[in-house]
Chain A
Amino acid sequence: MRVNLTVNGVAMQADDVWEGESLLYVLRERLALPGSKNACEQGECGSCSVYLDGEVVCACLVAAGQAQGRSVRTVEGLADGERLDPVQQAFLDAGAVQCGFCTPGLIVMVHDLLQRNPQPSDPEIREALAGNLCRCTGYEKILDAVRQAAEVKAT
Protein backbone atom coordinates (compact mmCIF):
# COMPACT_ATOMS: atom_id res chain seq x y z
CA MET A 1 0.00 0.00 0.00
CA ARG A 2 0.98 3.63 -0.29
CA VAL A 3 1.39 5.84 2.78
CA ASN A 4 1.44 9.62 2.63
CA LEU A 5 2.62 11.50 5.66
CA THR A 6 4.43 14.65 6.69
CA VAL A 7 7.87 14.08 8.16
CA ASN A 8 9.79 16.98 9.67
CA GLY A 9 7.53 19.38 7.83
CA VAL A 10 8.00 17.73 4.42
CA ALA A 11 5.22 15.82 2.63
CA MET A 12 6.51 12.33 1.91
CA GLN A 13 5.22 9.21 0.22
CA ALA A 14 6.19 5.61 0.82
CA ASP A 15 5.22 2.96 -1.72
CA ASP A 16 4.95 -0.83 -1.53
CA VAL A 17 4.48 -0.63 2.23
CA TRP A 18 3.51 -3.98 3.75
CA GLU A 19 0.29 -3.63 5.76
CA GLY A 20 1.89 -5.01 8.93
CA GLU A 21 4.94 -2.81 8.71
CA SER A 22 5.84 -0.30 11.43
CA LEU A 23 6.27 3.43 11.07
CA LEU A 24 9.86 2.88 12.18
CA TYR A 25 10.54 0.63 9.19
CA VAL A 26 8.96 3.16 6.85
CA LEU A 27 11.13 5.97 8.24
CA ARG A 28 14.38 4.03 8.17
CA GLU A 29 14.07 1.81 5.14
CA ARG A 30 11.74 3.69 2.80
CA LEU A 31 12.22 7.36 3.62
CA ALA A 32 15.99 7.34 4.24
CA LEU A 33 15.66 8.65 7.79
CA PRO A 34 17.80 6.29 9.87
CA GLY A 35 18.06 8.61 12.89
CA SER A 36 15.35 6.75 14.80
CA LYS A 37 16.97 3.50 15.88
CA ASN A 38 15.63 -0.02 15.64
CA ALA A 39 16.48 -2.00 18.74
CA CYS A 40 13.86 -3.92 20.68
CA GLU A 41 10.87 -3.65 18.32
CA GLN A 42 8.55 -4.02 21.31
CA GLY A 43 8.37 -0.59 22.89
CA GLU A 44 10.77 -1.44 25.70
CA CYS A 45 13.82 0.62 24.81
CA GLY A 46 12.64 3.98 23.48
CA SER A 47 15.36 4.25 20.83
CA CYS A 48 12.74 4.77 18.09
CA SER A 49 10.93 7.60 19.92
CA VAL A 50 9.40 10.12 17.50
CA TYR A 51 6.67 12.72 17.66
CA LEU A 52 3.41 11.58 16.06
CA ASP A 53 1.03 14.53 15.81
CA GLY A 54 2.95 16.19 18.64
CA GLU A 55 2.99 13.21 21.03
CA VAL A 56 6.08 11.09 21.62
CA VAL A 57 5.52 7.45 20.69
CA CYS A 58 7.58 4.40 19.90
CA ALA A 59 7.64 4.32 16.08
CA CYS A 60 8.05 0.54 16.20
CA LEU A 61 4.56 0.21 17.69
CA VAL A 62 2.78 2.43 15.15
CA ALA A 63 1.46 0.56 12.13
CA ALA A 64 2.56 2.31 8.96
CA GLY A 65 -1.03 2.86 7.84
CA GLN A 66 -1.85 4.53 11.15
CA ALA A 67 0.58 7.29 10.16
CA GLN A 68 -1.29 8.00 6.92
CA GLY A 69 -1.95 11.74 6.77
CA ARG A 70 -0.29 12.30 10.13
CA SER A 71 2.62 14.52 11.02
CA VAL A 72 5.84 12.91 12.25
CA ARG A 73 8.89 14.65 13.69
CA THR A 74 12.07 12.67 14.10
CA VAL A 75 15.47 13.47 15.57
CA GLU A 76 16.49 14.64 12.09
CA GLY A 77 13.90 17.40 12.36
CA LEU A 78 15.08 19.01 15.60
CA ALA A 79 18.14 20.98 14.47
CA ASP A 80 17.71 24.39 12.85
CA GLY A 81 19.85 23.88 9.76
CA GLU A 82 23.42 23.44 10.96
CA ARG A 83 22.53 24.71 14.42
CA LEU A 84 21.80 21.91 16.83
CA ASP A 85 18.80 22.04 19.10
CA PRO A 86 19.83 22.95 22.68
CA VAL A 87 19.01 19.38 23.75
CA GLN A 88 21.35 17.93 21.13
CA GLN A 89 24.10 20.39 22.06
CA ALA A 90 23.68 19.62 25.77
CA PHE A 91 24.06 15.87 25.12
CA LEU A 92 27.35 16.59 23.33
CA ASP A 93 28.59 19.04 25.96
CA ALA A 94 27.70 16.85 28.91
CA GLY A 95 29.25 13.69 27.46
CA ALA A 96 25.86 12.02 27.47
CA VAL A 97 26.62 10.16 24.24
CA GLN A 98 28.71 7.03 24.21
CA CYS A 99 27.78 4.38 21.63
CA GLY A 100 24.97 6.67 20.52
CA PHE A 101 22.32 4.08 19.84
CA CYS A 102 19.89 5.33 22.48
CA THR A 103 20.70 8.98 21.83
CA PRO A 104 18.15 9.90 19.13
CA GLY A 105 15.26 8.50 21.18
CA LEU A 106 16.47 10.17 24.33
CA ILE A 107 16.89 13.49 22.58
CA VAL A 108 13.34 13.39 21.21
CA MET A 109 12.01 12.45 24.66
CA VAL A 110 13.96 15.21 26.42
CA HIS A 111 12.87 17.70 23.75
CA ASP A 112 9.26 16.80 24.55
CA LEU A 113 9.83 16.91 28.31
CA LEU A 114 11.32 20.41 28.22
CA GLN A 115 8.51 21.70 26.02
CA ARG A 116 5.92 20.50 28.52
CA ASN A 117 7.97 21.15 31.64
CA PRO A 118 10.82 23.65 31.13
CA GLN A 119 12.27 23.18 34.64
CA PRO A 120 11.80 19.52 35.52
CA SER A 121 12.87 18.14 38.89
CA ASP A 122 15.16 15.11 38.96
CA PRO A 123 12.30 12.70 39.71
CA GLU A 124 10.36 14.23 36.81
CA ILE A 125 13.33 13.73 34.48
CA ARG A 126 13.70 10.12 35.58
CA GLU A 127 9.99 9.50 35.13
CA ALA A 128 10.00 11.06 31.65
CA LEU A 129 13.00 8.97 30.57
CA ALA A 130 11.78 5.72 32.17
CA GLY A 131 11.08 4.23 28.75
CA ASN A 132 14.49 5.00 27.24
CA LEU A 133 17.24 2.50 27.93
CA CYS A 134 20.96 3.32 27.79
CA ARG A 135 23.52 0.60 28.38
CA CYS A 136 26.66 2.78 28.28
CA THR A 137 26.38 5.94 30.31
CA GLY A 138 24.83 4.88 33.57
CA TYR A 139 22.41 7.77 32.96
CA GLU A 140 24.20 10.33 35.14
CA LYS A 141 25.57 12.26 32.14
CA ILE A 142 22.15 12.09 30.53
CA LEU A 143 20.60 13.69 33.60
CA ASP A 144 23.35 16.34 33.44
CA ALA A 145 22.48 16.97 29.79
CA VAL A 146 18.81 17.45 30.59
CA ARG A 147 19.59 19.94 33.35
CA GLN A 148 22.00 21.80 31.06
CA ALA A 149 19.50 21.90 28.21
CA ALA A 150 16.83 23.23 30.58
CA GLU A 151 19.22 25.94 31.73
CA VAL A 152 20.20 26.95 28.19
CA LYS A 153 16.59 27.05 27.07
CA ALA A 154 15.66 29.24 30.06
CA THR A 155 18.22 31.92 29.14
Chain B
Amino acid sequence: MEFLQPASWAEALELKAADPRAVPIQGGTDVMVELNFDRHRPPSLLDLTRVTELAQWGTENGHVRVGAGVSYSRVIAELGDQLPGLAMAARTVGSPQIRNRGTVGGNLGASSPAGDCHPVLLAVDADVVVASVRGTRLVPVREFFTGVKRNVLAPDELIESVVLAPAGGPQQYSKIGTRNAMVIAVAAFGLALHPAQRHVGTGIGSAAPTPRRAPDAEAFIDGVLDSDGLWDSREPIPDAAATRFGDLVASASSPIDDVRGTARYRAHALSVLARRALVWAWDELRGRR
Protein backbone atom coordinates (compact mmCIF):
# COMPACT_ATOMS: atom_id res chain seq x y z
CA MET B 1 0.00 0.00 0.00
CA GLU B 2 1.13 3.53 -0.70
CA PHE B 3 0.64 6.59 1.46
CA LEU B 4 0.26 9.69 -0.69
CA GLN B 5 0.50 13.00 1.09
CA PRO B 6 -0.04 15.97 -1.22
CA ALA B 7 0.83 19.41 0.13
CA SER B 8 -1.52 21.32 -2.17
CA TRP B 9 -4.89 20.90 -3.85
CA ALA B 10 -3.30 20.85 -7.32
CA GLU B 11 -0.97 18.07 -6.24
CA ALA B 12 -3.86 16.14 -4.67
CA LEU B 13 -5.80 16.25 -7.95
CA GLU B 14 -2.76 15.10 -9.91
CA LEU B 15 -2.20 12.19 -7.55
CA LYS B 16 -5.86 11.19 -7.76
CA ALA B 17 -5.76 11.35 -11.56
CA ALA B 18 -2.62 9.20 -11.64
CA ASP B 19 -4.05 6.69 -9.18
CA PRO B 20 -7.87 6.78 -9.36
CA ARG B 21 -8.16 3.87 -6.93
CA ALA B 22 -6.44 5.89 -4.20
CA VAL B 23 -8.82 6.32 -1.26
CA PRO B 24 -8.98 9.89 0.04
CA ILE B 25 -8.63 10.15 3.80
CA GLN B 26 -9.37 13.22 5.90
CA GLY B 27 -10.50 12.59 9.51
CA GLY B 28 -10.26 8.83 9.06
CA THR B 29 -13.48 8.17 10.97
CA ASP B 30 -14.80 5.95 8.16
CA VAL B 31 -11.67 4.97 6.22
CA MET B 32 -9.64 3.82 9.23
CA VAL B 33 -12.45 1.59 10.47
CA GLU B 34 -12.39 -0.23 7.13
CA LEU B 35 -8.60 -0.62 7.38
CA ASN B 36 -8.55 -1.63 11.05
CA PHE B 37 -11.01 -4.43 10.38
CA ASP B 38 -9.33 -5.37 7.11
CA ARG B 39 -12.59 -4.96 5.23
CA HIS B 40 -10.92 -3.00 2.52
CA ARG B 41 -7.31 -2.66 1.51
CA PRO B 42 -6.94 0.04 -1.15
CA PRO B 43 -3.76 0.27 -3.21
CA SER B 44 -3.09 3.68 -1.73
CA LEU B 45 -4.33 6.24 0.75
CA LEU B 46 -4.51 9.86 -0.33
CA ASP B 47 -4.08 11.90 2.85
CA LEU B 48 -5.75 15.28 2.40
CA THR B 49 -4.98 16.68 5.84
CA ARG B 50 -1.96 18.64 4.54
CA VAL B 51 -4.00 20.45 1.90
CA THR B 52 -4.55 23.69 3.76
CA GLU B 53 -7.06 25.02 1.20
CA LEU B 54 -9.50 22.28 2.22
CA ALA B 55 -9.42 23.23 5.90
CA GLN B 56 -10.80 26.70 5.25
CA TRP B 57 -14.23 28.21 4.96
CA GLY B 58 -15.19 31.61 3.61
CA THR B 59 -17.93 33.70 2.08
CA GLU B 60 -18.16 34.15 -1.68
CA ASN B 61 -20.93 35.92 -3.60
CA GLY B 62 -23.16 35.81 -0.55
CA HIS B 63 -22.70 32.05 -0.09
CA VAL B 64 -20.67 30.16 2.47
CA ARG B 65 -18.08 27.80 1.05
CA VAL B 66 -17.13 25.12 3.56
CA GLY B 67 -13.90 23.36 2.63
CA ALA B 68 -14.07 19.56 2.58
CA GLY B 69 -11.54 19.40 5.42
CA VAL B 70 -13.42 21.58 7.92
CA SER B 71 -14.19 19.45 10.98
CA TYR B 72 -17.58 19.13 12.63
CA SER B 73 -16.13 20.81 15.73
CA ARG B 74 -15.27 23.84 13.64
CA VAL B 75 -18.67 23.88 11.94
CA ILE B 76 -20.23 24.03 15.42
CA ALA B 77 -17.82 26.63 16.82
CA GLU B 78 -17.38 28.87 13.78
CA LEU B 79 -20.43 28.47 11.56
CA GLY B 80 -23.34 28.02 13.96
CA ASP B 81 -24.63 31.54 13.32
CA GLN B 82 -24.64 31.35 9.55
CA LEU B 83 -25.40 27.66 9.11
CA PRO B 84 -27.49 26.68 12.14
CA GLY B 85 -28.94 23.54 10.57
CA LEU B 86 -25.56 22.16 9.58
CA ALA B 87 -24.19 23.00 13.03
CA MET B 88 -27.13 21.19 14.67
CA ALA B 89 -26.44 18.15 12.53
CA ALA B 90 -22.71 18.34 13.30
CA ARG B 91 -23.48 18.42 17.01
CA THR B 92 -25.21 15.03 16.75
CA VAL B 93 -22.22 13.33 15.12
CA GLY B 94 -20.39 10.71 17.21
CA SER B 95 -18.47 12.14 20.16
CA PRO B 96 -16.13 15.09 20.72
CA GLN B 97 -13.21 12.96 19.51
CA ILE B 98 -15.06 12.08 16.31
CA ARG B 99 -16.25 15.67 15.75
CA ASN B 100 -12.66 16.90 16.09
CA ARG B 101 -11.64 14.71 13.15
CA GLY B 102 -14.69 14.06 10.98
CA THR B 103 -15.51 16.48 8.18
CA VAL B 104 -18.47 17.55 6.06
CA GLY B 105 -16.47 16.57 2.96
CA GLY B 106 -15.84 13.11 4.36
CA ASN B 107 -19.52 12.73 5.18
CA LEU B 108 -20.38 13.54 1.55
CA GLY B 109 -17.62 11.29 0.23
CA ALA B 110 -18.83 8.32 2.27
CA SER B 111 -22.39 9.01 1.03
CA SER B 112 -23.96 6.89 3.73
CA PRO B 113 -27.77 7.16 3.73
CA ALA B 114 -27.33 7.89 7.45
CA GLY B 115 -24.81 10.73 7.01
CA ASP B 116 -25.87 13.46 9.43
CA CYS B 117 -25.05 16.43 7.20
CA HIS B 118 -27.05 15.25 4.22
CA PRO B 119 -30.65 16.03 5.28
CA VAL B 120 -29.75 19.63 6.09
CA LEU B 121 -27.70 20.07 2.91
CA LEU B 122 -30.74 18.84 0.96
CA ALA B 123 -33.11 21.15 2.83
CA VAL B 124 -30.99 24.19 2.01
CA ASP B 125 -30.28 23.08 -1.57
CA ALA B 126 -26.51 23.11 -1.17
CA ASP B 127 -24.03 22.51 -3.98
CA VAL B 128 -21.04 20.20 -3.81
CA VAL B 129 -17.91 21.50 -5.52
CA VAL B 130 -16.03 18.58 -7.05
CA ALA B 131 -12.75 18.84 -8.89
CA SER B 132 -10.26 16.88 -10.94
CA VAL B 133 -7.34 17.77 -13.19
CA ARG B 134 -10.02 18.10 -15.89
CA GLY B 135 -11.68 20.98 -14.06
CA THR B 136 -14.16 21.90 -11.38
CA ARG B 137 -17.91 21.36 -11.44
CA LEU B 138 -20.80 22.20 -9.17
CA VAL B 139 -23.15 19.33 -8.31
CA PRO B 140 -26.42 20.11 -6.53
CA VAL B 141 -26.47 17.91 -3.43
CA ARG B 142 -29.91 16.77 -4.62
CA GLU B 143 -28.15 15.05 -7.53
CA PHE B 144 -25.04 13.97 -5.66
CA PHE B 145 -26.15 10.66 -4.13
CA THR B 146 -26.78 7.75 -6.51
CA GLY B 147 -27.17 4.76 -4.18
CA VAL B 148 -26.14 3.32 -0.83
CA LYS B 149 -22.67 4.77 -0.24
CA ARG B 150 -22.49 5.80 -3.90
CA ASN B 151 -22.29 9.23 -5.49
CA VAL B 152 -21.64 10.96 -8.79
CA LEU B 153 -17.88 11.40 -8.28
CA ALA B 154 -15.80 10.19 -11.21
CA PRO B 155 -12.78 8.06 -10.27
CA ASP B 156 -10.40 10.99 -10.67
CA GLU B 157 -12.53 13.50 -8.77
CA LEU B 158 -12.27 14.78 -5.21
CA ILE B 159 -14.68 16.87 -3.14
CA GLU B 160 -13.35 20.39 -2.68
CA SER B 161 -16.12 22.04 -0.69
CA VAL B 162 -19.81 22.46 -0.16
CA VAL B 163 -21.48 25.77 -0.94
CA LEU B 164 -24.67 26.95 0.71
CA ALA B 165 -26.54 30.14 1.48
CA PRO B 166 -26.40 31.54 5.01
CA ALA B 167 -29.66 30.68 6.75
CA GLY B 168 -32.50 33.01 5.78
CA GLY B 169 -34.73 31.55 8.49
CA PRO B 170 -34.91 28.89 11.21
CA GLN B 171 -33.46 25.46 10.52
CA GLN B 172 -33.80 22.13 12.30
CA TYR B 173 -32.18 18.74 12.39
CA SER B 174 -33.62 15.81 14.33
CA LYS B 175 -32.45 12.26 14.58
CA ILE B 176 -33.63 9.07 16.25
CA GLY B 177 -31.16 6.76 17.94
CA THR B 178 -30.66 4.65 21.01
CA ARG B 179 -28.66 7.31 22.82
CA ASN B 180 -27.57 10.89 22.34
CA ALA B 181 -23.98 10.16 21.32
CA MET B 182 -22.24 7.68 19.04
CA VAL B 183 -25.41 6.93 17.15
CA ILE B 184 -25.98 6.06 13.53
CA ALA B 185 -29.40 7.54 12.90
CA VAL B 186 -32.35 5.16 12.76
CA ALA B 187 -34.16 7.98 11.00
CA ALA B 188 -33.25 11.62 10.57
CA PHE B 189 -34.85 14.76 9.21
CA GLY B 190 -33.57 18.18 8.25
CA LEU B 191 -35.73 21.23 7.63
CA ALA B 192 -35.10 24.79 6.53
CA LEU B 193 -37.55 27.68 6.38
CA HIS B 194 -36.79 30.06 3.53
CA PRO B 195 -39.02 33.07 4.29
CA ALA B 196 -37.64 35.15 1.40
CA GLN B 197 -38.57 32.41 -1.08
CA ARG B 198 -41.66 31.45 0.93
CA HIS B 199 -40.47 27.87 0.82
CA VAL B 200 -39.89 24.99 3.21
CA GLY B 201 -36.95 22.71 2.37
CA THR B 202 -36.71 19.12 3.55
CA GLY B 203 -34.18 16.31 3.78
CA ILE B 204 -34.65 12.70 4.91
CA GLY B 205 -31.85 10.54 6.31
CA SER B 206 -31.55 6.82 7.08
CA ALA B 207 -34.88 5.98 5.50
CA ALA B 208 -34.06 5.34 1.84
CA PRO B 209 -31.07 4.08 -0.18
CA THR B 210 -29.89 7.68 -0.39
CA PRO B 211 -30.63 10.84 1.54
CA ARG B 212 -33.55 12.45 -0.28
CA ARG B 213 -36.01 15.33 -0.21
CA ALA B 214 -39.74 15.05 0.37
CA PRO B 215 -41.02 17.11 -2.60
CA ASP B 216 -44.73 16.41 -2.03
CA ALA B 217 -44.45 17.47 1.60
CA GLU B 218 -42.65 20.65 0.53
CA ALA B 219 -45.31 21.48 -2.07
CA PHE B 220 -48.11 20.75 0.38
CA ILE B 221 -46.81 22.93 3.20
CA ASP B 222 -45.73 25.69 0.80
CA GLY B 223 -49.35 25.70 -0.42
CA VAL B 224 -50.83 25.83 3.08
CA LEU B 225 -48.54 28.62 4.23
CA ASP B 226 -49.29 30.55 1.06
CA SER B 227 -53.07 30.09 0.89
CA ASP B 228 -53.55 30.77 4.61
CA GLY B 229 -51.31 33.84 4.42
CA LEU B 230 -49.16 32.50 7.25
CA TRP B 231 -45.84 33.90 6.00
CA ASP B 232 -47.35 37.35 6.59
CA SER B 233 -49.58 36.72 9.60
CA ARG B 234 -47.06 34.44 11.36
CA GLU B 235 -50.01 32.62 12.88
CA PRO B 236 -49.45 29.02 14.02
CA ILE B 237 -49.54 26.22 11.46
CA PRO B 238 -52.80 24.29 11.92
CA ASP B 239 -52.22 20.93 13.64
CA ALA B 240 -53.85 19.02 10.81
CA ALA B 241 -51.47 20.62 8.30
CA ALA B 242 -48.41 19.84 10.39
CA THR B 243 -49.55 16.23 10.77
CA ARG B 244 -50.23 15.93 7.05
CA PHE B 245 -46.76 17.35 6.37
CA GLY B 246 -45.26 14.64 8.60
CA ASP B 247 -47.23 11.93 6.83
CA LEU B 248 -46.11 13.18 3.42
CA VAL B 249 -42.47 13.18 4.58
CA ALA B 250 -42.88 9.60 5.76
CA SER B 251 -44.42 8.56 2.46
CA ALA B 252 -41.46 10.06 0.59
CA SER B 253 -39.18 7.57 2.36
CA SER B 254 -38.54 3.97 1.42
CA PRO B 255 -36.96 2.49 4.51
CA ILE B 256 -35.80 -1.06 5.15
CA ASP B 257 -35.88 -3.37 8.15
CA ASP B 258 -32.41 -3.72 9.63
CA VAL B 259 -30.61 -4.13 12.96
CA ARG B 260 -31.32 -0.54 13.91
CA GLY B 261 -35.06 -0.52 13.29
CA THR B 262 -37.94 -1.69 11.18
CA ALA B 263 -39.19 0.06 8.08
CA ARG B 264 -42.52 0.67 9.78
CA TYR B 265 -40.89 2.26 12.80
CA ARG B 266 -38.67 4.43 10.61
CA ALA B 267 -41.64 5.77 8.62
CA HIS B 268 -43.57 6.49 11.79
CA ALA B 269 -40.57 8.14 13.47
CA LEU B 270 -39.97 10.24 10.40
CA SER B 271 -43.54 11.55 10.39
CA VAL B 272 -43.12 12.62 14.02
CA LEU B 273 -39.66 14.13 13.46
CA ALA B 274 -40.91 16.09 10.47
CA ARG B 275 -44.00 17.42 12.19
CA ARG B 276 -42.02 18.51 15.24
CA ALA B 277 -39.20 20.05 13.18
CA LEU B 278 -41.74 22.07 11.21
CA VAL B 279 -43.50 23.33 14.33
CA TRP B 280 -40.22 24.11 16.14
CA ALA B 281 -38.88 26.05 13.17
CA TRP B 282 -42.17 27.86 12.65
CA ASP B 283 -42.39 28.79 16.34
CA GLU B 284 -38.84 30.15 16.13
CA LEU B 285 -39.85 32.24 13.13
CA ARG B 286 -42.78 33.54 15.13
CA GLY B 287 -40.40 34.44 17.95
CA ARG B 288 -41.94 31.86 20.27
CA ARG B 289 -38.88 29.68 20.83
Contacts and interface: CB of A to CB of B under 8 A. Distances in A.
Interface of A: 1, 18-20, 22, 41-44, 46, 49, 55-58, 60-63, 65-66, 68, 109, 127-128, 130-132
Contacts of B28: 61-63, 66
A57 B182 contact: no
Nearest to B30: A61
A20 B96 contact: no
B96 A109 contact: yes
Nearest to B183: A130
B3 interface: yes
B56 interface: no
B98 A43 contact: yes
A56 B71 CA distance: 13
Given A63-B28, A131-B181, A43 B97 contact: yes
A57 B28 CA distance: 11
Contacts of A42: 33, 36-37
Given A19-B2, A19-B3, A63 B32 contact: yes
B1 interface: yes
B101 A62 contact: yes
Given A63-B3, A65-B5, A66-B49, A130 B101 contact: no
Contacts of B181: 127, 130-131
A43 B102 CA distance: 11
A57 B100 CA distance: 7
Contacts, number: 89
B100 A55 contact: yes
Nearest to B101: A57
B190 interface: no
Contact of B33 (A1, A43, A46): A43
Contacts of A132: 95
Contacts of B73: 55
Interface in B244-276: none
Contacts of B180: 130
B25 interface: yes
B45 interface: yes
Contact of A130 (B5, B45, B47, B96): B96
B94 A43 contact: yes
Contacts of B37: 41-42
Interface in B1-35: 1-3, 5, 25, 27-29, 31-33, 35
A60 to B, nearest CB: 6
Contact of A20 (B5, B41, B94): B41
Interface in B98-116: 98, 100-101
A22 B32 contact: yes
A43 B3 contact: no
- List the 10 closest A-B pairs by CB distance, nearest first: A131-B95, A130-B181, A19-B3, A41-B36, A19-B1, A65-B3, A61-B32, A61-B28, A20-B35, A42-B33
Contacts of A65: 3, 5, 45, 47
Contacts of A41: 33, 36-37
15 contacts: A42-B37, A43-B32, A49-B97, A56-B97, A57-B97, A61-B27, A61-B32, A61-B98, A62-B28, A65-B47, A66-B25, A66-B47, A131-B94, A131-B98, A132-B95
